[in-house]
Structure 1
């Protein structure tokens, strides 16, 4: 079922370079016009870059922009010095865009299975989304996919990573949030440079969510950030806990849906029908049990969206097994740098990186609060 503009929600998560990388070797499912448009847009972003240190000293730039860019600089330093991430030259530059959204991301999935449609790009492999710098182009692609029978969803993105292939700038679209989200976004995107596994999008994005949220909490709860008693520390911790609660809720809902989708005695049409009451009860559970337990507004827009397989997969992509990542972090006594090093070593030769992340005991229910560290 087609999504609509009213359900868009601004996700500050990375859109891998279905833009610059398309220029390198092309996209097997992309038209020449798409590649040209993406290339022109990416070139424009790169050509408009300005060194952040110059902007910080420019008093004609508005104070809010300069203040948040100062957090970008410090978050980048924190990621390098405290988390052991090779930050390269990324996020030392800034690009002011003439729009509120970087790109629109189209995702799709069949209504009888939690399997995304994928597009192939060089370097990153198969990815379950396709970015468009034009809303009209995204809507046209969504309509075409819906006509083929796919569940679809369009969402905006305000940041992306080229995995170190280019000097990624901070975009003005990524600064339209508070300081906690700005730092979370920077660390999230830098996490992709620390660890990226081609073709394993769910692991890559969930790992980056873990690093971004846990990293931001550690940054703001130290004296380097704002201190353990600060509002920013409490906000960062609350959003990290909420991410784990939401992840647990999604994991449970997915298990119930997969029981239907994996039933060999059901036809595709029956599966598409039988999923509906499961999704409905899952949304009721969210309203009555999950939402009241959340401490922040991070997931406030979830119920304003047309929840289907494409929507769910988009969320699963970023919030899969976060409790397990946190349990591994606790096994390193909260040392995030050690946890990142351990994870990188564990997944080195894994065909499915999640297989080497130990399972922890799930929360007793989706509503049970994550223990406060």
Structure 2
């Protein structure tokens, strides 16, 4: 059994790879769409077939000690999610799959050259999402190359996990076994939150909800297990992440103003390049205050473009609104879930308006 323990997570919430019934759609689809669904179903069923009960993997003398320790922690975190966070109790994350690659799926993000509005792909069950996932990186890169040829900005990012919303018993994957305990626990909380609440066609709502549950869950888990030092480390990591997200949000604001300005294409292209150059310079200055910590260096390894900004906006854009919702619920998670479900049941326009109101209120506090 090979062992790969990722240092830092890359993840996506609900992948558009949900049901074998998608095979029934193939005769109705064009060749390229049929090929996409075929790889999705084949890859997903391959994962399901490779699952092993975690108890048996832990008991197996051939299991590396590092894998055994990670799986024991995953089991404890799953139990906490059920007992203390009110997240679903089913067969998810009771089995394990050892992958032969560092990510389970590779997601393609795309945006126009002069817009931050992400391209959306629509699927049965999952609805419309802002990425398209592939089990092979080469397939994702081919799709990105086709989009680039048509003038889109693109980015391909590996994801350590995806959720089937409880329709299958999702396994713990080797790509999820982060060396950082808080990140491993947080990922399980995040993915189980998707099973608790998922709103079709609203990626930003779904990911921000799950991210809020993840962060509150990690805070409570570290407190409950008496890990004061780890809690302090985790809080420091969140402060650094918040500072970095602020830089990304400011860059998005600059680009949105530029793209709405009516400038001609050469001027917008020059302004776009200047905005990303400023982001890199601001990050170097920020990193200098972190005593050599380089946790976000990898973010800059890929070319900087509009598509690169999609995940941060999707996962974190609405988090302050959900945090306020949790405060208004006096920290009662069941009341918080009920309030989030009420929002999720609103028509899209009403939900968007309510989220804007919550964001504005949160900004004033």
Fold shared per TM-score above 0.5: yes
- Distance in 1, Cα, partners of 2:220 & 2:291: 20
When residues 80 and 160 of structure 1 are mapped into structure 2, their CA distance, relative to the original with a 3 A threshold, is: same
Cross-structure match for 2:201: 199
What's the secondary structure of 2:60's corresponding residue?
coil
Is contact 2:112-2:118 (8 Å) kept?
yes
1:312 Cα offset (Å):
0.5
Cross-structure match for 1:258: 256
Cross-structure match for 2:95: 93
More helix by share: 2
Match of 2:110 among 108, 111, 117: 108
Q: C-alpha deviations, 1:254-276, integer Å up to 9, x for none?
A: 2222112223x334564344322
What's the secondary structure of 2:179's corresponding residue?
coil
Cross-structure match for 1:306: 303
Q: Given the alignment of the two structures, is residue 167 of structure 1 paired with residue 169 of structure 2, yes or no?
A: yes
Is contact 1:26-1:121 (8 Å) kept?
no
What's the secondary structure of 1:156's corresponding residue?
strand
When residues 186 and 155 of structure 1 are mapped into structure 2, their CA distance, relative to the original with a 3 A threshold, is: same
When residues 16 and 356 of structure 1 are mapped into structure 2, their CA distance, relative to the original with a 3 A threshold, is: same
Q: C-alpha deviations, 1:23-59, integer Å up to 9, x for none?
A: 5264868432222222222111001111112223323
1:311 Cα offset (Å):
0.2
What's the secondary structure of 2:19's corresponding residue?
helix
Match of 1:83 among 82, 85, 92: 85
1:1-373 counterparts in 2 under 5 A?
Answer: 11-21=9-19, 23-24=21-22, 26=25, 30-223=32-225, 227-231=226-230, 233-263=231-261, 265-267=262-264, 270-289=267-286, 292=289, 298-351=295-348, 353-357=351-355, 358-359=358-359, 360=361, 362=363
Q: C-alpha deviations, 1:157-191, integer Å up to 9, x for none?
A: 11110111111111111114322211111111111
- Distance in 1, Cα, partners of 2:86 & 2:291: 31
Is contact 2:8-2:178 (8 Å) kept?
no
- Distance in 1, Cα, partners of 2:348 & 2:114: 25
| Structure 1: runs of 5+ lacking an equivalent | 1-8, 365-373
TM-score by length of 2: 0.86
- Distance in 2, Cα, partners of 1:229 & 1:249: 29
Is contact 1:76-1:187 (8 Å) kept?
yes
1:230 Cα offset (Å):
3.2
- Distance in 2, Cα, partners of 1:84 & 1:294: 39
Is contact 1:106-1:130 (8 Å) kept?
yes
What's the secondary structure of 2:238's corresponding residue?
helix
Q: C-alpha deviations, 1:125-180, integer Å up to 9, x for none?
A: 11121112222212211111111001011111111101111111111111143222
What's the secondary structure of 1:105's corresponding residue?
strand
- Distance in 2, Cα, partners of 1:334 & 1:228: 21
Is contact 2:205-2:318 (8 Å) kept?
no
Is contact 1:203-1:354 (8 Å) kept?
no
Q: C-alpha deviations, 1:75-128, integer Å up to 9, x for none?
A: 222222222222432111111122222122111110111111121111111112
Alignment root-mean-square deviation, CA: 2.8
| Structure 2: runs of 5+ lacking an equivalent | 1-6
